[in-house]
């Protein structure tokens, strides 16, 4: 059975590490799993990602940024996500539509519904089947990133704390608005517990 599962949350929430281990566990259980990420996931989408996240592009207009995310998303869906779902696979995607709603819609003040409209054009009105939101205080998330020397700090990581707080409350609001597809994971728990909660959320839908 195919399922499109997206992993959302602020910086340093652990979603990417959890996603990687979940993919391994589900594969061991015999599921066919595709892992991917946004922005990016295919060569064209990764090129768009490089433009968006390039530290030298500090003067990028917020609407330009929003449109680039949506463009990258469209290419990624058409070339990778939809074909995999067609083949009956589980697709695990690190960030998707809801990141645009939280980051561009709320934190960049472009409006959730405006960003939703642009994105529904890109997705042809489709949403993920399940969205796991890794909820964590931004102070803790950013401290984790700083402690992890191996991870590159990108342009958006450098935004001030208010921005990250807005992102968090935006995701919390989205979890209420899209309660049918959202599961909120308390990402301040131990890694093992966060993993287990995420695993159970997926298993109940399989």
Q: Is 8 in the site for ligand TYD (CB under 6 A)?
A: no
Residue whose CB is less far from ligand TYD, 95 or 168: 95
Q: Which of 32, 64, 148, 154 binds ligand TYD (CB under 6 A)?
A: 154
- Count, residues near ligand TYD per rule CB under 6 A: 14
Token pair for residue 96? 């998707």
Q: How far does Cα 101 stand from its chain's mean position? A: 11
**Which of residues 35, 36, 75, 99 is near ligand TYD by CB under 6 A?**
99
Q: In terms of CB distance, is 87 or 162 closer to ligand TYD?
A: 162
C-beta of residue 21 within 8 angstroms of C-beta of residue 191: no
The minimum distance between CB 29 and ligand TYD, in angstroms, equals 26
Beta strands in the chain (DSSP E): 3-9, 33-37, 90-94, 130-135, 182-186
Q: In 3D, which of 165, 141, 168, 163 has the Cα closest to residue 153?
A: 141
Half-sphere exposure of 22 (CA within 13 A, CB side): 30
One residue of 3, 14, 18, 39 binding ligand TYD per CB under 6 A: 39
Minimum separation from the CB atom of position 54 to ligand TYD (A)? 12
Separation CA 92–CA 66 (nearest Å): 22
Q: Which residues of the chain form contacts with ligand TYD (CB under 6 A)?
A: 11, 16, 38-39, 53, 69, 94-95, 99-100, 103-104, 154, 156
């Amino acid at each position: 059975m195919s399922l499109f599962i997206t992993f959302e949350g602020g910086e340093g929430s652990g979603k990417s590490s959890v996603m990687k281990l979940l993919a391994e566990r589900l594969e061991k259980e015999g599921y066919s799993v595709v892992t991917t990420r946004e922005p990016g996931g295919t060569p064209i989408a990764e090129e768009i990602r490089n433009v968006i996240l390039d530290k030298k592009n500090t003067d990028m207009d917020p609407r330009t940024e929003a449109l680039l995310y949506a463009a990258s998303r469209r290419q990624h869906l058409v070339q990778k996500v939809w074909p995999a779902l067609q083949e009956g696979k589980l697709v695990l995607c690190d960030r998707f539509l809801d990141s645009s709603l939280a980051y561009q819609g709320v934190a960049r003040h472009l409006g959730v519904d405006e960003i939703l409209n642009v994105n529904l054009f890109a997705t042809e009105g489709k949403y993920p089947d399940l969205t796991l939101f890794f909820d964590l205080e931004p102070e803790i998330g950013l401290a984790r990133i700083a402690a992890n020397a191996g991870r590159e700090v990108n342009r958006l990581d450098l935004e001030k704390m208010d921005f990250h707080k807005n992102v968090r409350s935006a995701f919390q609001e989205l979890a209420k608005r899209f309660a049918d597809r959202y599961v909120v994971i308390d990402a301040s728990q131990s890694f093992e517990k966060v993993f287990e909660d995420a695993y159970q959320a997926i298993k109940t839908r399989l």
